[in-house]
Chains A and B, each alone.
Chain A
């Protein structure tokens, strides 16, 4: 059952098209992330759901009710801002209870809900503190509680963690996800951090320059990127240009070296230029196990990253990164050595340019 629908949404700011052709259906209780670089339109789209921007075209509906033209204070959505936006003149409890106060709920009901929320965000003792007395992470949790206290139908989060330290970020994103699951509330999460999006979303909407590039589960987005942008934005990726040799047999040629792919090449002809991509972890040393593609290479650099060892190799004229798990008993080649690497045909992704 679709809970939130955005149909044909677009937003024009003067000459610039900030968002174009945005279509999305979100199920109830789903956690969807909008992922993309700065300026891709993800925040603008979120703000259109919240009512702070009016779409130039298109409709926003929640539970089949059209809210496109409704004022922001008439919608049943809760928003968590990047800069927390806690009211500095009110205590934590007053901030959390503000929405209910506006909706004229009874003092008893407010008190109970506030206590529930404080327990939910593990800040039971901070009810009487003021925002300036709290750390960034604590303030953001209060902002989350404030948005949830109103029991909104949809929760919107605008890069809520980008102002926080890395360690707090990891901790807090897991908390946000667990609270969202517990309450079963539909959530839209805007971020530019692909690791964040991958780790907590049910589905990810990858955006670039105002348009949707791909919608899918984290697994799909990472392993089966459909465009060059998605492939390069999510995870590390090796990319190169190549030429189609034999579309029926899915053969392509990169720097004169032949590669076997598993991708459909319908509509392509011999000589077409394509973009190919291979994930670093899908390349391994041929000495261990031979797969469909075997490539001669030269070792250029070895970087020890802890659990992973990243090796830079030169294949033909192209530099590739390959990631292998750290194995203290496996001898690594030396820089300058000539070696052989291998990857399966499924690992060779052919992308729309």
Chain B
């Protein structure tokens, strides 16, 4: 039988009594302090200053207006979006086919583990080293260029250029398709064997199973991951910088240039540029989250 006396012990409780709320805040303070100083405050600085006139600090939309009026900057957004669309679509489709082949394609099981390992490494092997690897491969003095020339085919005589939009797209694909493989694999795993058997049992051919069952089920995941890929490409900087020396017109490159000095002639434009980028990313991440939730509901 418990006595009333046992309740009065003064040990710190894992389940606190309701009125002792005050010192719960203390536990999360370091984190919020850190996040505020080094993440939230600098980020909000960008947001605030993008709505401010650089000299007078008066609230204004002028920076965004000037951004939209600047053909160079609008072009930068357009090119960034273009490369992101292309590499997310290309990387998405290729990554999906690769993942499906390894998981459901009838290949030996070690191929799947190897693929996952390669993709884990490849999706992290981005930035400067990746750019150089492609330079070593396909620059005018690159290894592959040399081999092709030795058999009589010079890609550069056929209009190939590495340090351009398409060259960069090719490099981006290197980390895009592995990311697709890694993220879409759980969804492919979630395609239950019984759905295939039930479809077959009801008379469906392989194609019909794909068209009516497997593909619709996977679609939210595929779309969601492609959006993730889009964001991934949109925010990439170091790879483009290293490959093209900053000559290609991307939003990230522009911001990088701003960091080195005010190349736009107006600091406010730089902030507007940065905020615009965050908005695009926010939309992408939201889209991804919503589609993920939908697919999780089906693949439970």
Contact = CB atoms under 8 A, between A and B. Distances in A.
Contacts of B197: 50, 52, 72, 79, 81, 85
A98 interface: yes
A69 to B, nearest CB: 15
6 contacts: A73-B200, A83-B192, A85-B197, A86-B198, A87-B198, A98-B202
Interface of B, helix, strand, loop or mixed by DSSP: helix
A132 B201 contact: no
A81 B213 contact: no
Contacts of A231: none
A99 to B, nearest CB: 4
B97 to A, nearest CB: 21
Query: Which range holds the interface residue count of chain A?
Result: 20 to 34
B218 to A, nearest CB: 9
Given A89-B213, A89-B216, A81 B194 contact: yes
B298 A150 contact: no
Interface of A: 50-52, 71-75, 77-79, 81, 83-90, 98-99, 101-103, 132, 143, 146-147, 150
Contact of A78 (B201, B205, B297): B201
B217 A132 contact: no
A98 B212 contact: yes
B111 to A, nearest CB: 22
B299 A102 contact: no
**Residue in A79, A88, A101, A146 whose Cβ sees the most chain B Cβ within 10 Å:** A88
B198 A73 contact: no
A214 to B, nearest CB: 29
Contacts of B109: none
Given A73-B205, A88-B297, 19 more contacts: A51-B200, A52-B200, A71-B200, A74-B203, A77-B201, A78-B201, A79-B197, A79-B198, A79-B201, A83-B192, A87-B195, A88-B217, A89-B298, A98-B199, A99-B203, A132-B297, A132-B300, A146-B198, A147-B201
Interface in B166-203: 192, 194-195, 197-203
Interface residues of B, number: 21
Contacts of B208: 102
Nearest to B217: A89
Given A73-B205, A132-B297, A150-B203, A85 B194 contact: yes
A78 B201 CA distance: 6
A99 B200 CA distance: 9
A98 B212 CA distance: 9
B300 A73 contact: no
Contacts of B299: 88
